[in-house]
Chains A and B, each alone.
Chain A
Amino acid sequence: MTGGTPFDDLEAGLRTLSLHDTRPECVDRVRARCLKALAASRRRARPGRELTSGQAGWIEPVAVLGVGFLYVAAAVQASLVLLREL
């Protein structure tokens, strides 16, 4: 330790430093802006406007199956055409 002031006294002093707050008009302005932003965020998150993670998880496998079915159908059709020609 370089200084003569004991660390324990310093730590105790730091723990008891006063708490400062902003001016009331600043407190109210920040609160109003944040509440407005929160309300906008809630509106954006309303059901029906966006897919929930459950819906997104359900749609993807169905889409993959659908595309797979179309691919297999096209392959069968091409095979039948080939067979007829033979």
Chain B
Amino acid sequence: MEREVERRLVARVKSGEAAAFEIVYQTYRARLFSFLIRLSRRRDVAEDLLEETWLRLVACAPRLSDETYLAAWLFTVARNLHASWCRHRAVDETRIAEPPASWPAPAAGETPFEAAARTETERRLERALARLSVRDREVLLLVAVEELAPPDAAAVLGLRAEALRKRLQRARERLATEMDAVGGFAHEGSGGRR
């Protein structure tokens, strides 16, 4: 989205215009949901966090800065809500005397959206991503999947540029290792996204 178009859209969202909200909702809903489901690996959790993200946007709309970059704002909220969910989950797990975990463990087996992957390569990539820690996964999702500019991704994750670069490099290396572990790239034609 062009910067000037986005500024006008932010101004309209701030004034509570329903049509402007609808544009933002249509533009970012699936991107946010894909991000959240790949982070949480659970549809019910992703849907709850997605709903909360949109409600936060509506609640905070009048106070948004005119220069707000909506993608970064929305991904920051979604990512923070997921981190918060992980912390609560860890507390609950401690209460029921299971090993505490700061982040959820990768899901075992094939998830529904792995099964829905269009190609074998995509299926393997989803599986390799699922085997990564959330820290590695979130940086790859923001930079490589959502194609946020590094300064925006750093802002979403609350990192300095150098820390982001290092984390991204480590995440790429681990993904390459996991990709090899799940069979590497299949030799097939690949389609574009969306």
Which residue numbers of A lie inside 8 Å of B, CB to CB?
1-7, 9-11, 13-23, 26-27, 29-31, 33-35, 37-39, 41-42, 45
How many residue-residue contacts, CB under 8 A, span A and B? 131
The 7 closest A-B pairs by CB, nearest first: A3-B176, A14-B144, A42-B16, A3-B177, A21-B30, A37-B58, A5-B179
Contact B51 A18 (CB under 8 A): no
Q: Is the CB of B59 within 8 A of A37?
A: yes
Question: B33 and A10: CB pair below 8 A?
Answer: no
Chain B residues whose CB sits within 8 angstroms of the CB of A15 once the complex forms:
144-145, 147, 193
A/B interface sample: 6 pairs, CB < 8 A:
A3-B177, A5-B180, A15-B145, A20-B37, A26-B50, A33-B55
- Dominant secondary structure at the A interface: helix
A10 to chain B, nearest CB (A): 6
A11 to chain B, nearest CB (A): 5
- B21 and A14 contact, CB distance less than 8 A: no
Residues of A within 8 A of B180 (CB): 3-5
> In whole angstroms, how far apart are the Cα atoms of A6 and B185 in the complex?
10
Quick check: is B47 within 8 A (CB to CB) of the other chain? yes
Q: B1-57: which residues lie under 8 A (CB-CB) from chain A? A: 15-18, 21-22, 25, 29-31, 33-34, 37, 46-47, 50-51, 54-55, 57
Q: Are B34 and A13 in contact (CB under 8 A)?
A: no
